[in-house]
Amino acid sequence: MKAAFFRKHGGPEAMEYGDYKDPVAAPGQVLVDIHAASVNGADWKVRKGSYAPITDLPYIPGRDFSGVVSAVGEGVTDLKVGDEVFGVCDVGQEQAYAEKIAIKASIVAKKPAGLSHADAAALSLIGLTALVSVEDTLKLKRGETIFISGGAGGVASYAVQLAKHIGARVITSASKGNHDYVRSLGADEVVDYNAVDVAKAVSGCDAAFDTVGGNVTQQAFAVLKSGGRAAFISSGAKAPEPERKDVRSLRPQVGRTRSHLERIAALAVSGAVKPPEIKLFSLAQAAEAHRISEGRHFRGKLVFKVR
């Protein structure tokens, strides 16, 4: 099969495109012919060596995909050849930047007919992360106010729509050029992080969801009212320590379950959450896609059209 991979850690130029051995479905797995795979920030961090060094090289990154089942392993009874499915690779597994992937059948879900492969791939990991963060971790309720950092980004744009669907008031930050975009997603108030100090412009929130990290972390605490809670996905494996003692800091644990994927599908089909804006690439353009992703100043999702 063809795949995009790297032979050593490095910059975007480390990404190559070429032949790679075909995977085989083990017991409990399905083999999927991938039609689309998306780019996530974790992908280029893996390539750079920001996490634990990869020793099994060459290495195919990529965590979410959509495609068609082409073979089923022993013991799989709930999926069959020809089923259109989408999913997120298990923790510790990647390899979605490829024409085929073997993956645990229990953590993929059937793709609705009305959802394209590109949209399904784009929604998978960002939807899973947003659902676990907003619903499971923050337990956001109707009538509450939530601040979401970087509203034009992948996870954040999903979270904005999810929070509105729940019935919350949504405040988000974005550059001026993205204000109309995040308002179209349902944001009630948008703050230009280039023009004002977010920590001073926003206050009294019940919850905050930081998708950016870095110096934005303490902003998430600052906007909360006393007793509020904040969730963080870009500040390491543990929740950061707040400078104030009257708020809670939470680190969502994003597992892999079919039920979450089925909720992503249902929200998309109902129109409650729209797929993000998508920029398409071929697998051969993986280096360019990583350059854009690493720059972090784009909106929506970058997606590989594999077939």
The answer to whether position 256 is within a domain reads no
The answer to whether position 109 is within a domain reads yes
Residue 138 and residue 230 in one domain: yes
The answer to whether position 174 is within a domain reads yes
Residue 43 and residue 142 in one domain: no
> Distance (Å, rounded) from C-alpha 172 to C-alpha 134?
14
pLDDT tens-digit series, residues 245-259: 999 999 999 989 999
Pair type for strands 100-104 and 84-88:
unpaired
The answer to whether position 103 is within a domain reads yes
> What Rg, from alpha-carbon coordinates, does the chain have?
19
Residue 109 and residue 147 in one domain: no
Task: Provide the percentage of residues in the chain whose pLDDT is more than 70.
Answer: 100
Residue 167 and residue 216 in one domain: yes
Residue 174 and residue 203 in one domain: yes
> Distance (Å, rounded) from C-alpha 82 to C-alpha 73?
14
The answer to whether position 280 is within a domain reads yes
> Distance (Å, rounded) from C-alpha 60 to C-alpha 98?
7
User: Is the bond preceding residue 12 a cis peptide, omega within 30 degrees?
Assistant: no
pLDDT at 302: 95
Q: pTM for this structure?
A: 0.92
How far is the CA of 219 from the CAs of 26, 141, 145, 172, 193, in angstroms? 46, 22, 15, 12, 11
Q: Which one-letter amino acid corresponds to residue 146?
A: I
pLDDT at 292: 94
> What's 31's domain CATH number?
3.90.180.10
Residue 153 and residue 185 in one domain: yes
pLDDT tens-digit series, residues 155-199: 999 999 999 999 999 999 999 999 999 999 999 999 999 899 898
Residue 93 and residue 173 in one domain: no
Residue 298 and residue 231 in one domain: no
> Distance (Å, rounded) from C-alpha 305 to C-alpha 307?
6
Residue 130 and residue 219 in one domain: yes
Q: Which one-letter amino acid corresponds to residue 168?
A: A
Tell me the pLDDT of the chain averaged across its residues: 95
Residue 108 and residue 135 in one domain: no
The answer to whether position 153 is within a domain reads yes
Residue 54 and residue 143 in one domain: no
DSSP the chain: -EEEEESSS-SGGGEEEEE-PPP-PPTTEEEEEEEEEE--HHHHHHHHT-SSPP-SSSB----EEEEEEEEE-TT--S--TT-EEEEEPPTT----SBSEEEEEGGGEEEPPTTS-HHHHHHHHHHHHHHIIIIIIIS---TT-EEEESSTTSHHHHHHHHHHHHHT-EEEEEE-GGGHHHHHHHT-SEEEETTTS-HHHH---EEEEEESS-GGGHHHHHHTEEEEEEEEESSS-SSPPPPSSSSSEEE-------HHHHHHHHHHHHHTSSPPPPEEEE-GGGHHHHHHHHHH----SEEEEE--
CA-nearest of 225, 219, 172 to 203 is 225
The answer to whether position 151 is within a domain reads yes
- What is the number of structural domains in the chain? 2
Provide the domain limits for residue 193.
125-250
Residue 172 and residue 288 in one domain: no
The answer to whether position 257 is within a domain reads no
pLDDT at 158: 96
pLDDT tens-digit series, residues 38-89: 999 889 999 999 888 899 999 999 999 999 999 999 999 999 999 999 999 9
